[in-house]
Amino acid sequence: MSHTVTPYRDRDPPLKIIHTATTNPADLSPFDREMVYNGLDCCVTRDVFDSTITQLNPATAATYAFSKALQGPVLEMRCRGVLVDAARKNEVIDNFHDQIDTLERQLERILFEGVGLESFNWRSHRDLAWLFYDVFAIPAIHYQGRPTCNRAAREKIALYPIAKLIIDYINTLTELGDKISVLKTAIDPDGRFRTSYNIAGTSTGRFSSSTSEFGTGGNLQNIEESLRSIF
């Protein structure tokens, strides 16, 4: 019996060996740089593991074992996601917009009858600074050398009785806008909201979470009660 060996020119080329200790990444092709990255990602992680596993004591070993046991359920959670009720989501968004419209009309009336302002944009930093620091003559609060009306500054401005009610309105309007932004977060084509969970994301032992690997979804751990009816 005989057989024929196909020359390399007629087959796939052999695997390339890259000496990462002596190679400049700038000299590599984009594909080779990705391959080096993937190789180091595996090999360096294994080196770290071999060095640290011997340092575990009974308590930390139990924590490590528990974290590993969570990998399966967490992967299932990440892949499955949470189904979004599209009709209910639109209802909640419309309700928040109605609340914003009502609060804006009330705020405009307060500023017109109380201060004489005929126009005011609560979203405008310039309008806010002008109202609090010029009209109300509250000492300006600065951030990085510039006057600011961010959330931290508004907490200080609210200590002045003349501004307290206005600040309450602006904070409520801002929170409603943030809720609408959460509800409008991009979800996957199958209608599910997915999250990327990090088992060891905090020092307290709880998970941390963020957008999915594909840039959709977000942090499901911070969904407040008023938003949960869509899931």
Model pLDDT, residue 72: 95
pLDDT digits (tens, 9 = 90+) for 17-53: 888 778 888 888 888 888 888 888 888 888 899 999 9
pLDDT digits (tens, 9 = 90+) for 78-113: 999 999 999 999 999 999 999 999 999 999 999 999
Where does the chain show beta strands of DSSP type E?
82-83, 142-143, 146-147, 192-193, 196-198, 208-210
Model pLDDT, residue 15: 74
Model pLDDT, residue 25: 82
List of residues 6+ apart from 67 with CB closer than 8 A:
199, 200
pLDDT digits (tens, 9 = 90+) for 173-202: 999 999 999 999 999 999 999 999 999 888
Position 7 pLDDT exceeds 80? no
- Record the pTM: 0.70
Q: Which of 226, 148, 231 is nearest to 195 (CA)?
A: 231
Model pLDDT, residue 112: 93
